[in-house]
Amino acid sequence: MKISKTRLNGVLQIRLKPFNDLRGTYLEIFNKKLFKNTKKKVNFIQDDISISRRNVLRGIHGDFKTWKLVTCLMGEFLLLVVNNKKKDKQFKKWQIFKLSDQNNLQILIPPGFGNAHYVKSKKAIFHYKQSTLYNRESQFTINWRDKNFKFKWPKKIKPILSKRDT
């Protein structure tokens, strides 16, 4: 496991180390002991999986209490992470990460950040660990086209959206 900082303060990129042999690949996606090296005091209590098809865009959602650890189990998606902490000097700053089942990357997202993912492959499985139980009432939603944030999605994006995300 190799942990590195990103342009967003508090957001970490984690490169997992796969074990490959003639049977395929074995990948450890979380180990509490190794995770302590991030120096983040996070206690994950819930795991969620989202299975989506090409062009689905989920999010931008977040809250001010929850840590999330995002992994792509199958396929490929773009993960947008945005700082929504109004009093932070990096408020409205964002970064897009490409996660896939081939590049073995994870992203650790702190409270106060929103995230969305846009599926590029035929199908993708998005996995995330959360430090709090899901509570929609405590979440914020940012429109994926919000001009105040100046997101730069890929050209010619034709997202499939939920009512909440339109």
Average confidence (pLDDT) over 105-131: 97
Domains of the chain: 2-20+39-141 (2.60.120.10)
How far apart CA 127 and CA 141 sit, in angstroms, is 20
118 beta partners = 57, 78
Q: Across residues 123-136, what is the average pLDDT?
A: 95
The dihedral region occupied by 92, where left means phi > 0, alpha psi between -120 and 50, and beta the remainder, is left
| Mean pLDDT estimate for the chain | 93
Active-site annotation holds for 128: yes
**List 117, 118, 127, 128, catalytic entry:** 128
Percent of the chain having pLDDT more than 90?
Answer: 81
pLDDT at 89: 97
Q: Note the pLDDT tens digit of each residue in 20-69.
A: 999 998 999 988 877 776 667 789 999 999 999 999 999 899 999 999 99
* Residues 62, 83: Cα–Cα separation, whole Å: 10
157 versus 63: the higher-pLDDT residue is 63
- Per the residue annotation, which of 26, 61, 118, 127 is the catalytic one? 61
Structure tokens at 126: 């998005």
Q: What count of other Cβ atoms lies within 10 Å of the Cβ of residue 127?
A: 18
What is the spatial distance between Cα 136 and Cα 68, in angstroms, rounded to a whole number? Answer: 15
pLDDT for res 44: 93
